[in-house]
Structure 1
Amino acid sequence: MQPNEDKTSVDPTEDEVLPDEEIKQLVREVLYKNMISGRKGGFSYHYTKPSPGTYPFQYFWDTCFHVFTLTALGEVDMAKKHLRSLFAMQRPDGFVGHMNYWERLWPGRTSDILQLRPKDALHMYKPHMSALVQPPIAAQAVERIYRADQDISFLQELLPKLKKYYHWLAQNRDFEGQGLLSIITPFESGMDWKASYDPVLGYDKGKAGPLLFWKVLQVDRHNFFHNYNLPRIYKSNKFIVKDAAFNTLYAQNLEVLEQLCHIAGDEDGAEFAAQAEKTGKSIVKYMYDEQDQAFYDLYGHRYQKLKIATATVLFPVVLKTTPDEVCRKVLKKHLLQKDGFQVPYPIPSLSVNEPAFDPDESIYIWRGPTWVVFNWFMQGFLLQKGYVQEARHLLLTVKRLITKGGCREYYNPFTGQGHGAHNFTWSGLVVDMMKRQREKEEEGSQKNSE
């Protein structure tokens, strides 16, 4: 498969979208409207709420997304404040929770309370972290800041924290020593109600309903009453899942961490490079399904494939350890041809062919609607591999969505109607997409003129 072959949908035209400068201004306004800073419990904090009311805390991978958006807007110093805040409460062993509770200390939902260690739940009057993790993209966030201003002092400040964090993940979540990290609840993947988890939860009703909510809640209840003791939780095997996206981001960030070590003159870089290669090879070995040409999440101690076509079946194509032939097969089937992911507003979070597919607004998210983050993630890979027009199509899709509905949490993949939280910051990743696309096309123009 060569770039630009088998293109099955028509690119939206530029006159269907807001001008780039208007989109950038809209994103800037949303970020600053949701931004909060202060000092409490001996800590200084500065972060952006993903949305004003729905998501009021500092979330791990959301903060990293904010870094990508802020640096694309030229707000590098602000991005640094966000990352310092994210790591402010890092434990001595390296752990960083997926939520930092700063200004609003009491969790808003029962499920949030169950995501704390019991002793933290008893002391919620002071800043604290959740007991869970989220996709580990912090190294890429630090690398993006360094690339923006070459501030070696900031890199040297954050590098020890990053090293401790990724060491914690390897030591505490790679239960079998194969380089693959396990999550212990759906909330750790960042894709809370992802349909591929249904078989693990014992849910076979297709579209989500109240029963699914209670089954997920039981997982968090189980972890809470096990005091988040990871060996005990692993042994119980209630929810031990190796998510394809989570592990892809882990491998990517280990590669980036090796580069950051090299820049800083740190000798530990080779260790992270070796770990990245081990993880990447295990992803291909255990997650790839040749017949379906897809990468699936895995469940349990025996690595059972969860054969449900979520959008993350694409993710591992970005890794250099994934063979080129496998990349071409996966891209051709799931992104460049007409299958369950070809909709007017790609990339849907779940194949339209799956029984659980639901494109409309629901509390059970990630089961059909389009999220900007998938387009952002795949656009970077497509640009890297020379699929410039396909990458541009994903960008223009996002611009059309924002033009139609503003910065929303997610969108209907058929109509483009915005759903979920309003003034949602993830949509701001469009400015990073715009910047990457412009730089790649300018690079191509320059090469053509030489």
Structure 2
Amino acid sequence: MKHRIIRIISLALLLANLTACSTGNKSVAEKRYAFNNILDIAYTPDTLHRCTGWFTDAGSWMGFTLPEKQQWLNGFCGPFSLDMFRRQWMAQSATIVGFAKDAQASFTPDSTCYYPGELYLSAHSADGRITQRLNFVSSSTALLRIETDKSEDLLLTGSRWGRDVTVSIEQNSVIARHPSGESVTVTFTPDVELTAADNNYTALIHAPKSPVNVAISFFTSEKEMAAGLQNLPSLLNHPGNALQANADRWEGYLTKILRTDMKPEYDRIAVKAVTTLISNWRTHRGGLLHEGIIPSHAVGYFVGFWAWDTWRFSAGTAKFDPELAKNNIRAMFDYQQPDGMIIDCIYTDPSENNARDSKPPLVCWAVDEIFTHTGDTTFVAEMYPQLLSYYKWWYQKRDHNRNGMCEYGSTDGTLEAAAWESGMDNAIRFDNAVMLKNDGADDAWSMDQESVDLNAYLALECKLLKKFAVLLKVPFDGPDYTDRVANYFFDTNINFFCDRRLKDSSFIEEPGCEAYTPLWTQIATQEQVDAMLPMLQDTAKFSTYIPFPTIAADNPKYNPRGYWRGPIWLDQTYFAIRGLRNYGYNKMADEYTRQVFDRLNGLKEGAPIHENYGTHTGERLKAPHFSWSSSHLLMMYDDYGK
């Protein structure tokens, strides 16, 4: 009850303070306007720096930032090309806005804001105030709306077009072309006077009496541009439907994920997680044959789709955008190999795809989450044969001694790729691993150790495949070793789950996060979980400031910045917390969730969600705007208090 009262008071205060930010299309009662400055993406680009976060939406390959108040431009910065292979600012700003009577007048910023799905800025000069809003209305186009408090002519121009960009005017559009084939267009209504000058433009708008609409579009080819420009006159003359669709989409996202019984600051975490996932959404392009979600738009090498990342993103988005979740899964299965393998990662340029390894099998979990939220048996039927083929592949290509317990491996025989296949590239448990050639295929190699997490994942996949088979009334003919996994990998010497060596079946006693997986997949016995508690609750090992690191914190090899050798990865922390909940330790799980929500640096403020965090400090470490951390924060939010 107290949280509800706090939410009502907070919303009332917000509404009182945001009258200057009303949309002109809907009232500020939209849920997104309760989450102002959800992320700090203020950045004014110059020639020396690149940004680490953008506003993007609707699957677009372009992004924008808010101008920094100390380096003010009276317009949104960008767009920025978000493609992995050619990332650059197409312009410092494609649309600087001022009053025509004094085009050189400086503007003083009043306020800026990043709402979920919308950018806002307001500034004034001696001649009056100008406010601007930016919303994506499609994957190719963002709609800029400009309003003033004076009936004065407006003048728009571009600022510092990117290297090798050529600007021209064609009919009602400014077209900025790059030799790569990418182009940015700025399109106006026919009454606007466009003039070309010095590889730039000016647009004179006479005394507007209503919001001025400008379409900023990003295209990857001349053919795409020609088709896209045909749709813009209708958008500019009648923007209401497109803006309403944007508002409804975001209202739908937030309505589906927000609870009525949570602290406002925890709601903010959930909304930030959704905003992060949607900002990493990309429409199909080149070799990416379906839309999907990338790990992080802020890191160039992450602009592709990875297998186990995809399974996590799809599980995380199933509740609020199941169609995106479905298509992300389809994108990975577009490259399923004849033997059933799902390759590690795919890109817009298929020559860059990595087929040296796969990734941990979590896809049936993602499909089941989609089914849970949609009841869509058609999608389950579409995926089932491919899921079963992938499941069987593990036993065909990654079970060296044919005992039903699988190993991580690679197609090229390298330990590097095998470590990638685990997803835990430099994990301590692999320090002494060597590669073994498997019988029957030239592309089948295994590490010389059986991994507990892999076989726990496979046990869950098996359970769900059986569920799907019953649902679809089809046979399940895959191997099933589920009942053996927990006892096989439980080391009674230290009361913890560990990997086992192939040569002598001995345990690799380097306790780490792989032990959380049997709890999350619910194959551990209650007795095993109870026996693990002393180590899990030991503040020197796993019950750290941020709980459940990737390796016991008192391990001599522990490294606070060691990627998978110490830091917090929120997927693993989620597996541990949900695992405890699965075995009746709900209060403990809630306490650990609060530690995550309350202690991660910047999580409740404007900082982006990161790839991993400091175990003892909560400091932000690798890649910002990270999708799988966001997915698992949403899962923790959804589980909390239940």
Please classify the TM superposition score into its range, dividing by the shorter chain length.
0.7 to 0.9
Q: 1:196 maps to which residue?
A: 429
The answer as to 2:637 corresponding to 1:434 is: yes
Aligned partners of 1:187, 1:88: CA distance in 2, in Å? 21
Q: Call closer, same or farther: CA 1:48–1:192 in 2, change over 3 Å.
A: same
Are residue 365 (structure 1) and residue 563 (structure 2) matched? Answer: yes
The amino acid of 2:433's aligned partner reads V
Shift of the alpha carbon at 1:140?
0.5
TM-score in terms of structure 2 length? 0.53
Query: CA, structure 1 residues 371+128, in 2 after alignment: closer, same or farther (shift >3 Å)?
Result: closer
Counterpart mapping for 1:52-131 below 5 A:
52=297, 53=299, 54-72=301-319, 74-100=320-346, 102-105=347-350, 124=351, 128-131=353-356
By percentage of residues, which structure has more strand? 2
Partner residue in 2 for 1:260: 468
Counterpart contact for 1:76–1:149, Cα < 8 Å? yes
Matched, 1:302 2:302: no
Distance 1:320 1:413, change over 3 A: closer
CA distance in 1, matches of 2:539, 2:279: 40
Aligned equivalent of 1:117:
none
Aligned residue number for residue 35 of structure 1: 281
Greater Rg by CA: 2
CA distance in 2: counterparts of 1:366 and 1:97, whole angstroms: 22
Contact 1:98/1:129 (8 A) holds in 2: yes
1:387 to 585, 588, 591: 585
Partners of 1:318 and 1:24 lie apart in 2 by 21
With 86-95 and 314-323 compared, the bigger mean Cα shift is at 314-323
| Counterpart residue type for residue 544 of structure 2 | V
Aligned residues of 1:170 and 1:181 also touching (Cα < 8 A): yes
Structure 2 counterpart SS, 1:199: coil
Aligned with residue 403 of structure 2, among 178, 181, 206: 178
407-416 vs 428-437, greater mean Cα deviation: 428-437
For 1:433, the aligned partner's letter is M
CA contact (8 A) 2:462 2:482 kept: no
User: Larger RCO: Structure 1 or Structure 2 (Cα < 8 Å, ≥ 6 residues apart)?
Assistant: 1
Residues 11-67 of structure 1: CA distance to partner in whole angstroms, max 9, x if unpaired?
A: xxxxx98623322321222122222122435x6221211112242221111001101
Matches of 1:340 and 1:432 in 2, distance apart? Answer: 24
Note the C-alpha offset of 1:97: 0.7
Q: Which amino acid aligns with 1:408?
A: H
CA 353–21 in structure 1, closer or farther in 2 if over 3 Å, else same: closer
Residues 194 and 371 of structure 1: CA distance in aligned 2, closer, same or farther (over 3 Å): same
Higher helix share: 1
Inter-partner Cα distance in structure 1 for 2:401 and 2:502: 11
Give the residue type in structure 2 aligned to 1:306: I
Whole-Å separation in 1 of the counterparts to 2:267 and 2:485: 43
Pick from 442, 451, 460: which aligns with 1:229?
Answer: 442
Q: Could you tell me which amino acid in structure 1 is paired with residue 316 of structure 2?
A: T
Q: Percent identity?
A: 21
The one-letter code matched in structure 2 to 1:135 is P
CA RMSD of aligned residues (A): 2.5
1:195 corresponds to which letter in structure 2?
A: I
For 2:558, give the aligned amino acid.
F
Partner of 1:316: 518
C-alpha distance in 1, partners of 2:401/2:278? 43
Give the match's secondary structure for 1:27: helix
Say whether 1:355 aligns with 2:556: yes
Asked if the contact 1:408/1:424 (under 8 Å) is kept, the reply is yes
Q: TM-score, normalised by structure 1?
A: 0.75
Equivalent residues, number = 364
Question: How far did 1:380 drift?
Answer: 2.4
Letter paired with 1:229? D
Once the 2 structures are TM-superposed, how far is the Cα of residue 320 of structure 1 from its aligned partner?
Answer: 5.1
SS in 2 for 1:306: coil
Q: Per-residue deviation at 1:266?
A: 1.5
Deviation at 1:374, TM superposition (A): 1.4
Letter in 2 for 1:198: D
What SS does the corresponding residue of 1:407 show, helix, strand or coil? Answer: coil
2:604 to 403, 415, 422: 403
Looking at structure 1, the residues matched to 540 and 483 of structure 2 have their Cα atoms a distance apart, in angstroms, of 26
Aligned with residue 328 of structure 1, among 530, 533, 539: 530
How far 1:334 sits from its partner (Å)?
A: 2.3
Structure 2, unaligned stretches of length 5 or more? 1-261, 410-417
Q: How far apart, in 2, do the equivalents of 1:411 and 1:175 lie?
A: 35
2:487 to 265, 269, 284: 284
